[in-house]
Structure 1
Amino acid sequence: MDIVYQLVQGMSGLPAQESRLARFFLENFAQIPESSMEELAIKAGVSPATLQHFARSIGCDDINDFLGKVRHQQQNNGPRSRPEAVGILGDATWVEPDALQKLAAHAGIGSDILERFSHSIGKESGGDILSQIRARLNDFSQQESRVAQTILDDVGFAASATIDQLATAAGVSPATITRFARAAGCDDIRDLRMKLAQSSSPVTNGTLPEPWQEKLSGVHSSLNSQLNELSPATVARAAQMLKQATATHIFSASGADTPFASLLQYRLLTLGHPANLCQDSALMSITASMLGAGQVLLIFASHTPENALIAAVHQARRKGAGIIVIAQGECSFTQQNDIVLSLKDNRYGLLFLIDLLCDGLTLKA
């Protein structure tokens, strides 16, 4: 019997208390044979009867049979010098590849068992997504290899690009991007982007002052949060609506939104798209009454908008204007045909979203 395998299976297939016991034994594998049942019960915070029941649950006759199988497996993995004791690892830490390597060395577990264990919890030891892509360059199809090379050439771009943007940069179809994501071991394009963002996270530079390092880490975290909040299809729809509009009218719900609204207006104008910015509630009503089909009303609402702005939105909608709302939290004034872009971070995340929208305007249909 492969006792490590049985413990791994127990983590997912047993009741909560016994699942925690399986984790406890994996984390303290080297100390198990040296402890009595009473000592193990105290360390694990359970009763001796629970230990006996657990041992039978994973296929052993009793706790003594379990301890014997642990000793046998350690002996079969060859003699090893006893490493210094390590503390019990936390839930988030012990499943990381480096921690698994330490745990394996500490417990005298062979590489084959470690590989099976890593696979069973989705933590293959192949490194991050970039390492996996590099290692499999020769295994991808010709089209997929073009995607891989595009990603490796500019990881930052790939981590934030929409599926259409990445497809255009690689010279392939969006369907190829989806196939590549799966071939690279990701669930979909969003999973791929998230892993790329994690792989391209800024490395702490020891020469930077600590406050700068903290700021850099915070910015990266904000961008990651915003990236995970967005739907590429929704961003693409919004960009397409702006691209086809005869004019875009931007309403700002609060003073905090105004700098970002002004930035978007400037970006649209420099790209050749007529754009107007309105911050006054009285002018919003007048502007909305003059809108019609083919025009777009874009609302910045990182804070709860006033009734005057909400009334102007309803008026513009009745006139046939397209509605795009950039909002943080629930939006009670939106309707089914409106495009709502969820805002996770109202500073760096908002700047990131403006970039995505403007980049979408430059894509060929």
Structure 2
Amino acid sequence: MDIVYQLVNGLSGLPAQESRLARFFLENFSQVPESTMEELAARAGVSPATLHNFARSIGCHDINDFLGRVRHQQQDISGSPLPSPSGILGDAAWVEPGALQQLAAKAGVSSDILARFTHSTGKEDAGDILARIRSRLGDFSQQEARVAQTILDDVAFACSATIDQLASAAGVSPATITRFARASGCDDIRDLRMKLAQSSKPAPVGGLPQLWRNKLQDVTGSLGTQLGELSPAALQQAVTALQRASGVHIFSAGAADTPFASLLQYRLLTQSLPASLCLDPALMSITASMLRVGQALVIVAGTLPEPALMAAAYQARLNGATVIVIASTQSPLITKNDIVLPLTDSYYGTLLIIDLLCERIPFDKED
């Protein structure tokens, strides 16, 4: 398999996010073999699971197979220059959006064709999303216009809101949010959130020490990646399960996860939703054996679970309890019947999930 050829094909033949990953790998081809999967995921701004999916999309077994093929092809090339996106796409890889408008006029193509072209090459002007929404207020349907106005009134909220939260704030259905995202030129709600975040005015950080600015950038990137991987439907499933449960129990995978499990218990208690916390492996086993249908078990597992926790989760499932897992998608804890809230960052990701989970509960109760 010619891995470079596969990446080049991926620029136009894959979904938007994977197309951008193909561009990323082409631009950084020489550094790919020296990087770990975690380093690549962090630099590309995606989760390791997304890297695995991308590798399979271009014909590899997984990301490790992809990295091996890159190393092999580099040896075959023996110093020959690699094609870059600039060479493949010509001037389109570096032309700015304003210049593209002029080129479109010369070529006699419509604004819609230009929009699709810039989107496919990753050169769209994300900062234009707010101007685009404002300019199209008269074109949206009545329901979509309500969504547009809600976003314009509070862009910061719209950047981080789940599809259900945004729908509730606008007084429309989640399906309307999806239609609005597409009508605004975005792939879906995640793409819309990303563009809104990019267009929002950044916090004034010029006076901060460089170390603090670097930290802020890291945190922002971690939260953005976490939001991209979190499913609004799964989050709503978890909220509904907690609201309807006759009893809620929280297990922690280890010492590193205990503060998060304690925080989750505290947040649930402040929402008038009684929850018990269990940290001892022996007590987990006893508690799990007493769980029944209609009760919920939340497992916070940013770290690798111990066998005792896995056995307790197995027992809870056998007894018919609803199991909600906050963990990496690669965690051995997860089964197909669990409600999974995937983690891309065991620290900031867990905090964000707890925040979204608990903020939704009182809102739904008022409904």
TM-score (norm 2): 0.68
Deviation track 1:103-122 (CA, whole Å, cap 9, x = no partner) reads 899xxx68544976665232
**1:158 to 2:155 alignment:** no
Deviation track 1:141-182 (CA, whole Å, cap 9, x = no partner) reads 222111111111222221222222111111112222122111
Q: Which amino acid aligns with 1:283?
A: L
Q: Tell me what 1:178 maps to.
A: 178
In structure 2, distance between residues paired with 1:212 and 1:139? 43
**1:110/1:308 CA distance change after superposition, 3 Å:** closer
Q: Which moved more, 1:271-280 or 1:141-150?
A: 141-150
More helix by share: 2
The offset of 1:97, in angstroms, is: 8.3
User: Is the contact made by 2:126 and 2:199 (CA closer than 8 Å) also made in structure 1?
Assistant: no
Q: Tell me what 1:335 maps to.
A: 335
User: Is the contact made by 2:303 and 2:346 (CA closer than 8 Å) also made in structure 1?
Assistant: no
User: Is the contact made by 1:246 and 1:274 (CA closer than 8 Å) also made in structure 2?
Assistant: no
The offset of 1:288, in angstroms, is: 1.0
Q: Tell me what 2:46 maps to.
A: none
**1:351 to 2:348 alignment:** no
In structure 2, distance between residues paired with 1:139 and 1:97? 32
- Rg larger for: 1
Q: Tell me what 1:283 maps to.
A: 283
Output aligned runs, 1:120-199, within 5 Å: 120-122=117-119, 123-124=123-124, 127-199=127-199
Q: Which amino acid aligns with 1:229?
A: E
User: Is the contact made by 2:249 and 2:298 (CA closer than 8 Å) also made in structure 1?
Assistant: yes
Quick one: percent identity of the two aligned structures? 57
User: Is the contact made by 2:251 and 2:299 (CA closer than 8 Å) also made in structure 1?
Assistant: yes
Q: Tell me what 2:213 maps to.
A: 213
Q: Tell me what 1:99 maps to.
A: 96
In structure 2, distance between residues paired with 1:348 and 1:228? 14
In structure 2, distance between residues paired with 1:258 and 1:91? 50
Q: Secondary structure at the match of 1:128?
A: helix
Q: Secondary structure at the match of 2:205?
A: coil
In structure 2, distance between residues paired with 1:248 and 1:359? 17
Output aligned runs, 1:1-365, within 5 Å: 99-101=96-98, 112-113=106-107, 119-122=116-119, 123-124=123-124, 127-200=127-200, 202-203=202-203, 205-364=205-364
Stretches of structure 2 that go unaligned for 5 or more consecutive residues are 1-10, 14-79
User: Is the contact made by 2:230 and 2:341 (CA closer than 8 Å) also made in structure 1?
Assistant: yes
Q: Secondary structure at the match of 1:332?
A: coil
The offset of 1:333, in angstroms, is: 3.5
The offset of 1:90, in angstroms, is: 9.4
**1:196/1:127 CA distance change after superposition, 3 Å:** closer
Q: Which amino acid aligns with 1:194?
A: M
User: Is the contact made by 1:278 and 1:284 (CA closer than 8 Å) also made in structure 2?
Assistant: yes
The offset of 1:229, in angstroms, is: 0.8
In structure 2, distance between residues paired with 1:258 and 1:12? 45
**1:323/1:103 CA distance change after superposition, 3 Å:** closer
In structure 2, distance between residues paired with 1:292 and 1:304? 26
Deviation track 1:305-352 (CA, whole Å, cap 9, x = no partner) reads 011111111111122211011112413333222111110011111111
**1:220/1:279 CA distance change after superposition, 3 Å:** same
Q: Which moved more, 1:133-142 or 1:352-361?
A: 133-142
**1:261/1:110 CA distance change after superposition, 3 Å:** closer
Q: Secondary structure at the match of 1:333?
A: coil
Stretches of structure 1 that go unaligned for 5 or more consecutive residues are 1-10, 14-43, 47-87
User: Is the contact made by 1:144 and 1:177 (CA closer than 8 Å) also made in structure 2?
Assistant: yes
The offset of 1:250, in angstroms, is: 0.6
User: Is the contact made by 2:253 and 2:306 (CA closer than 8 Å) also made in structure 1?
Assistant: yes
TM-score (norm 1): 0.69
CA RMSD between the two structures: 3.2
User: Is the contact made by 1:97 and 1:124 (CA closer than 8 Å) also made in structure 2?
Assistant: no
User: Is the contact made by 2:299 and 2:326 (CA closer than 8 Å) also made in structure 1?
Assistant: yes
Q: Which amino acid aligns with 1:214?
A: N
Q: Which amino acid aligns with 1:99?
A: E
In structure 1, distance between residues paired with 2:92 and 2:242? 45
Q: Which amino acid aligns with 1:144?
A: E
Q: Tell me what 1:21 maps to.
A: none
**Alignment size in residue pairs:** 281
The offset of 1:243, in angstroms, is: 1.1
Q: Tell me what 1:85 maps to.
A: none
